[in-house]
Amino acid sequence: MNKNKNTLSFPDKSNSWDEVTDIVVIGSGFAGLTAAIEARNAGTSVIILEKMKAIGGNSIISDGGIAASETKLQKKFNINDSKDMMYADMLNAGDLINYPELVRVVVDNANDAFEWSQEYLGVEYLDRVDQFGGHCVPRCYTAKNISGATIIKKLKEKVEELGTSVRLQMYFKSFIQDSEGRVCGVIVRENYDYKNPDSGRDIYIKAEKGVILAAGGFSSDIEFRMAQDPRLTEKIDTTNKPFATAQALKEALRIGATPVQLSHVQLGPWASPDEKGYGHGPEFSEYILFQYGIIVDPVTGGRFINELADRKTLSDKILSVGHPCVGIADSKAVSESGWSIEKCLKKGVVKKFNTIKEFAVFYNVSYENLEESLNVFNKSFEEGRDKCFGKPIIDNAKPIMQTPFYGIRLWPKVHYTMGGIRINVLGQVIDLEGKVLEGLYAAGEITGGIHGASRLGSCAITECLVFGRIAGKNAAKKLS
Amino acid sequence: MNKNKNTLSFPDKSNSWDEVTDIVVIGSGFAGLTAAIEARNAGTSVIILEKMKAIGGNSIISDGGIAASETKLQKKFNINDSKDMMYADMLNAGDLINYPELVRVVVDNANDAFEWSQEYLGVEYLDRVDQFGGHCVPRCYTAKNISGATIIKKLKEKVEELGTSVRLQMYFKSFIQDSEGRVCGVIVRENYDYKNPDSGRDIYIKAEKGVILAAGGFSSDIEFRMAQDPRLTEKIDTTNKPFATAQALKEALRIGATPVQLSHVQLGPWASPDEKGYGHGPEFSEYILFQYGIIVDPVTGGRFINELADRKTLSDKILSVGHPCVGIADSKAVSESGWSIEKCLKKGVVKKFNTIKEFAVFYNVSYENLEESLNVFNKSFEEGRDKCFGKPIIDNAKPIMQTPFYGIRLWPKVHYTMGGIRINVLGQVIDLEGKVLEGLYAAGEITGGIHGASRLGSCAITECLVFGRIAGKNAAKKLS
């Protein structure tokens, strides 16, 4: 209770502010930096707090994929898509428990945010459109270098161009509220050292217009994620950095923010147990395997799912198999995908084989059963559909028969936390009574409800940019 | 924030207690009264608070079904069951996100609690064992009069025999914590009038040993349930009484209790839109229709699910059909079930028909398709299994052909909230840091994690008795 008591007793010492600014942004990932840029452009003073020694949070290690409909790139590649189609895909993946009004805001503003990142920030994307699991058409764009760092770099440059910067090693400890309960500042641990948490000293920063919470998710917080889904023990790896904890989220809950759908934690089905963290395997899985190849259970040699199913369906299914599964694609798939798998091969997470036999021996799969699975799947191309599991046939996909073949082992990792604190369409945090929690805004993974039970690939960066912009603009207006 | 501030500023006026007792119990349903009995038997003074003008909360309107394995009644009817089988059923229904250690406590103590209710409280149960959806064997017992009131009456008698009683119209407003954050009392609105919330006055009650939260679920709290599952608008009815709100739960969250799996709200698939609230239709659905009959989509006349699937599967499926479905059973099913449907017929929620044709005309189902669905299902009895949907064939079930036939319309209602606050195996409330929230215990529907994503029928009363007893005993010991 101490933090809570600090928070509430603070008005007594309200003459002891160490710093005063219009807006405090907690977190320096996609959402935080985007919010800071819009707040600066609205003419307010902004302090951006980052607890680590480097900026970017988890955003910087993401693969830089962003989803949007009705884009110029889709037009260029003659892809028919619409905001309503993207809206329907997000709700279907989310088991229909998403907040419809928030999903609507994301899809309606997705292309604006995507173009803003190109035209205003200067982010460059690969000249391609991908269809990731759960999306009904190709709708996913990838930043150059296939890395969120490409976007973070541009956001950082813009933040500095606008005359502010990210304060590193500033650990957010708790909110300060005035006598009416309005969030009016924060207590921060200065010179925070991740390895030595008690280092540094506490300072009080006043936020005249508001605080924007953009501290990310809690995939690495084993205690907190297990409280929501007890299956997610330390035995399940995560694609996130170790600092992706629930600390800031818990502070919001302590002052009465409404927790939303916290038990929906996303596992990445494209992850491989043969490397740590996110790694490089996911590139092969998403850009090649899921679209062109098949996944089999090594024990049976048989397929068991539509490889383009959404992440939740795919992860739950692989987990239910009970052991790592094996994916296979051929060299035709690699060339058609236009994707380089050099890194994957160099890291050894993807293996190369001259024959199906070699593949079967290496992964200890029954050769006959694997052959049969491939033959049945390859018939899909004559028949125009995957009779067994209803996997959509990608336009330029071909039967799997072109040597050499490529393989990967798959086992899910904790990737994203759909749940978080409740916000409204204006990016304002909502309290337990359903009312606006004055002075507090939020954007990005720390918020809940946008993705429901399961987030579609590439929709996170879209959400961070769309709601980061909204929160930044509205905090600057001091809406509440 | 006012409540929160009251709570924390209270120590200033710690000389102004209106009453002092060892233990305060919030709620007078199964869990609350059970906890009070154990606390009294441990020699402590107990004050039981009930906000309404009558005791029993929602428990009193439940159908009085309780589940337990390895019971005398199962032995009598030669039913092979085990704690491990019940444990597995609860976890499977819960999508495996249940807290395993809490489920273990429930199944290990279920038969003790069931026998305690008979031998110590004197509750009488019907001489039968039922198999409700999701249970792999018959394991469900029903209190006489098919009503939770039968159990509440005995609990009330015992509470009074032990020299305490339920204080009615006492509305719990907030917790009081000491300077270390330990829950040491409550603020209560006396002479509370549900229709006139501002009536009455606030009093402060000190709880020397602890406060036991047994305030139930939030199925009737449209604002709060929609925050967790936006589909649950005012357009979806509930089986609960209107006072089943999240108010006490929110107070626990305000002092840092961990929210667990709040977005998992259970819909009752056995409910009928042709009556308000829980009604009588569920008796026909659970004891006869799901076990012996079939459910069809009136538009197609076809079956679409194993009628003995767990509640979540069944409800989600009916909701996804998009309109009320129709259930049919014959008079043979009624006689085999040993169940009287007089009330259902009298209320008009279940209808009687002399022919399938009459049934089809009344519910506007294609007669041919319904006939075909019945014929295919009836073949299951020769074939020994339901080829289409894998519904288990109940031992004494027969083909559906014996006139007269009975029908009911089905549309889910909000029935139970699986989520709530986090507790440990000792019934202590756990805070956001994973530590015991000293002085606070909880039991019953207000707790989360025991049922995971979906509660099996009849496991709620089991949970209330098992954890009510644990919380009462441990609060009396002042464990924390």
| pLDDT at residue A154, rounded to an integer | 98
Answer whether residue B163 shows pLDDT above 60: yes
- Backbone region of residue B449 per phi and psi (left: phi > 0; alpha: psi in -120 to 50; beta: other values): left
> CB A263 to CB B258 under 8 A?
no
Segment B354-365 shows an average pLDDT of 98
CA distance B244 to B216: 7
Per-residue pLDDT for A4 more than 70?
Answer: no
Phi-psi region of A202 (alpha: psi -120 to 50; beta: other; left: phi over 0): beta
**Residue pairs between chains A and B whose CB atoms are closer than 8 Å:** 100
How much is the ipTM here?
Answer: 0.88
Question: Which residues in chain B have Cβ-Cβ distances shorter than 8 Å to A249?
Answer: none
Average per-residue pLDDT for chain B: 94
Residue A330 · residue A400 · CB < 8 Å = yes
Quick check: A174 contacting B, CB < 8 Å?
Answer: no
Average pLDDT over residues B95-105: 96
Are A419 and B263 an interchain contact pair (Cβ–Cβ within 8 Å)? yes
What are the CA-CA distances from residue B471 to residues B166, B424, B466, B468 (Å)? 18, 10, 9, 5
Contact flag A263-B419 (C-beta cutoff 8 Å): yes
Q: Residue B6: which pLDDT band, with cuts at 50, 70 and 90? A: very low
Mean pLDDT of B147-171: 97
Q: What pLDDT is attached to residue B13?
A: 52
The confidence band for B9, taking pLDDT boundaries of 50, 70 and 90, is very low
Contact (CB, 8 A) for B261 and B98:
no
- Domain B14-220+415-477 homologous superfamily, CATH: FAD/NAD(P)-binding domain (3.50.50.60)
pLDDT at A425 over 60: yes
pLDDT band per the 50, 70, 90 thresholds, residue B335: very high
Which residue of B246, B256, B264 is in closest CB contact with A254? B256
Residue A375 has pLDDT above 60, yes or no: yes
Range name among A15-19, A287-291, B243-247, B344-348 with the lowest pLDDT average? A15-19
Active site residue B311: yes
Angle in degrees, CA A316, A322, A327, rounded to 5: 75
Q: What percent of chain B has a predicted confidence (pLDDT) above 70?
A: 97
The model's pLDDT over B432-453, given as tens digits with 9 standing for 90+, comes to 999 999 999 999 999 999 999 9
Cβ contact B227–A100 (<8 Å)? no
From the CA atom positions of chain A, what is the Rg in Å? Answer: 23
* CB contacts, 8 Å: A177 with chain B: 1
pLDDT in tens, B388-435: 999 988 889 999 999 999 999 999 999 999 999 999 999 999 999 999
Two tokens, residue A101: 């009004």
* CB-based contact B323:B355 (threshold 8 Å): no
Cα four-point dihedral sign A74, A80, A86, A91: negative
- Supply the pLDDT for residue A15: 59
pLDDT reading at B208 higher than 60: yes
CB A357 within 8 A of CB A313: no
The type of residue at B385 is R
Catalytic residue among A167, A189, A225, A311: A311
Q: Is B419 on the interface with A (CB under 8 A)?
A: yes
Q: Label the pairing between strands B265-268 and B413-417.
A: antiparallel
Residues from chain A that touch B223, judged by Cβ atoms under 8 A, are 433-434
Q: Which residues pair with B13 in a beta bridge?
A: none
Contact B99/A at CB under 8 A: yes
Q: Is the pLDDT of residue A77 over 90?
A: yes
- For residues B145-170, give the mean pLDDT: 96
B2 vs A: CB within 8 A: yes
The pair of structure tokens assigned to A84 is: 């309503």
Q: Does A393 touch chain B (CB under 8 A)?
A: no
Q: Is the peptide bond before A230 cis (omega within 30 degrees of 0)?
A: no
Q: Is the pLDDT of residue B371 over 70?
A: yes
pLDDT digits (tens, 9 = 90+) for B254-279: 999 999 999 999 999 999 999 999 89
Helix (H) or strand (E) holding B2: helix B2-9
Q: What is the DSSP letter of B455?
A: P
Six-digit token string for B197: 């919330």
Q: Is B175 on the interface with A (CB under 8 A)?
A: no
pLDDT band at A310 (very low <50, low <70, confident <90, very high): confident
Q: Could you tell me the pLDDT band of residue B15, with boundaries at 50, 70 and 90?
A: low
* Pairing mode of beta strands A351-353, A202-213: unpaired
Helix (H) or strand (E) holding B475: helix B459-476
As a whole number of angstroms, the distance between CA B31 and CA A334 comes to 60
Q: Which numeric CATH code is attached to B270-411?
A: 3.90.700.10
Please give the pLDDT value at position A235: 84
- The answer on pLDDT for A368 being more than 60 is yes
B178 touches chain A (CB under 8 A): no
Q: Are B467 and B212 in contact (CB under 8 A)?
A: no
Which of A11-20, A159-168, A299-308 bottoms out in mean pLDDT, i.e. has the lowest?
A11-20
Return the domain boundaries, chain A. Answer: 14-220+415-477, 270-411
Do A55 and A34 form a contact (C-beta atoms < 8 A)?
no
Mean of all residue pLDDT scores within chain A: 94
- Exposed/middle/buried for residue B78 (C-beta within 10 Å: 0-12, 13-18, 19+): exposed
Q: Nearest Cβ partner of B231 from A96, A180, A228?
A: A96
- Candidates B266, B418, B432, B436, partner chain A, best to mutate (most A CBs within 10 A): B432
Q: What does residue B220 show for φ and ψ, rounded to 5 degrees?
A: -95, 5
Q: How far apart are CA A179 and CA A8, in angstroms?
A: 8
pLDDT at B2: 33
Residue B78 scores a pLDDT above 70 = yes
Task: State the pLDDT at residue B311.
Answer: 84
Quick one: average pLDDT of A398-407?
97
**How far is C-alpha B120 from the geometric centre of its chain's CA atoms?**
22
How high is the pLDDT of residue A170? 97
Greatest pairwise CA separation for chain B in angstroms: 78
Task: Judge whether A456 and A93 are in contact, CB under 8 Å.
Answer: yes
Q: Which residues of B touch A254 (CB under 8 A)?
A: 256, 432
